[in-house]
Amino acid sequence: MSHPDRFLMAGIMGWPVMHSLSPKIHNYWLSKHGLAGTYVPLAIQAEGLRAALRALPALGFAGCNLTIPHKEAAFEVVDRVDPLAQRTGAINCVVVAPDGSLDGRNYDGFGYIHGILEVYPAWRADARPIVVIGAGGGARAVLVSLVDQGAREIRLFNRSPERAQALAREFGAPIKALAWNDRHAALEGVAMLINTTSQGMAGQPALDLALNKLPTSALVSDIIYVPRETPLLAAARLCGNPTVNGLGMLLHQARPAFHAWFGVMPEVTAELRAMIEATI
Ligand SMILES: NC(=O)c1ccc[n+]([C@@H]2O[C@H](COP(=O)([O-])OP(=O)(O)OC[C@H]3O[C@@H](n4cnc5c(N)ncnc54)[C@H](OP(=O)(O)O)[C@@H]3O)[C@@H](O)[C@H]2O)c1
């Protein structure tokens, strides 16, 4: 039987954190499922991470999300890291176990795949080659999830080639790190193009990429969601390509976290999506 003072608590630790959309997402689900609780932004600086995470059990938190600058530093604090978070190289979700110990997980890859499947349920990673641009934190989550979904050939391009080469060595066979200048020509014959760089984000220039070699059937995905349509997605849409922005990744990574904390697997409803889109 639940405790009479049981009030569900979770939050997101980051610095800065007040821009985060996660409180809106999780508080929508708490209310939708009739659960008494709250999800709060927690402005925690790097030097406070250990104490803040260790305080979660005493504060009655079921866990928390982590954002910049804590996703890597948390490895040194949590008691266990699941294999997917280990491979992704980042922890975006901490779950407080019944004994007060801390589990580190990463649901960004789940979010990426389910964000695509929500829009294109028949999508498969193993159809034809995929081009991925970028080799930062977002790229790692996308690459791990594509490899796990059976992608056979991923052509990886990064402005700083050594980062792409390191990821190809780490993740193995399906990933080929190629020369940055060859990215335009490499779009020939691909089933999918994914931008994981910050280029095209609000306040940043557009990604420098010519789409003339890209088949019009190729799915174009950008993990950016501010703006909702990046210059890359707008150009692809004008060519007739199907497109998906990064909002689905954000919304869907939140689902297994909510489930791990509160025991309910929530859905990304049209109402939730519209509410979040209205704030962007
Ligand atoms: N939808 C979601 O849930 C989600 C999740 C994670 C990230 N994101 C978004 O993804 C984007 C990247 O985030 P991140 O965490 O991966 O960042 P990051 O680790 O800092 O990586 C940035 C990437 O962008 C590349 N880049 C930066 N400036 C460039 C330029 N002028 N020309 C070409 N490439 C350039 C970097 O290349 P170099 O290695 O050469 O610097 C690197 O590959 C951000 O817009 C972020 O908001 C979205």
pLDDT in tens, 104-160: 999 999 999 999 999 999 999 998 999 999 999 999 999 999 999 999 999 999 999
Give yes or no for residue 159 CB within 6 A of ligand 1: yes
Give yes or no for residue 204 CB within 6 A of ligand 1: no
**Which of 32, 71, 176, 213 is the catalytic position?**
71
For the chain, give the longest Cα–Cα distance.
63
pLDDT of residue 4: 60
Q: Whose CA is nearest to atom 24 of ligand 1?
A: 197
Contact yes or no for 110/85 (Cβ under 8 A): no
CA distances from 5 to 105, 198, 248, 255 (A): 28, 44, 34, 25
User: Which residues in the chain land under pLDDT 50?
Assistant: 1
**CA-to-CA distance for 272 and 189, rounded, in angstroms?**
36
Give yes or no for residue 138 CB within 6 A of ligand 1: yes
pLDDT of residue 1: 45
Q: What pTM, to 2 d.p., does this model score?
A: 0.97
pLDDT of residue 5: 67
pLDDT of residue 34: 97
Give yes or no for residue 197 CB within 6 A of ligand 1: yes
**CA-to-CA distance for 201 and 210, rounded, in angstroms?**
18
Residue 182, number of CB atoms within 10 A of its CB: 10
pLDDT of residue 3: 60
pLDDT of residue 6: 82
Ligand 1: centre distance to CA 110 (Å)? 19
pLDDT of residue 23: 98
Query: Is 71 an annotated catalytic residue?
Result: yes
CA distances from 56 to 40, 75, 101, 225, 268 (A): 13, 16, 10, 30, 27
For residue 227, whether the previous peptide bond is cis, meaning omega lies within 30 degrees of 0, is: yes
Question: Which of the listed residues 131, 197, 244 should we mutate to test ligand 1's pocket, taking the one with most ligand atoms within 8 A of CB?
Answer: 197
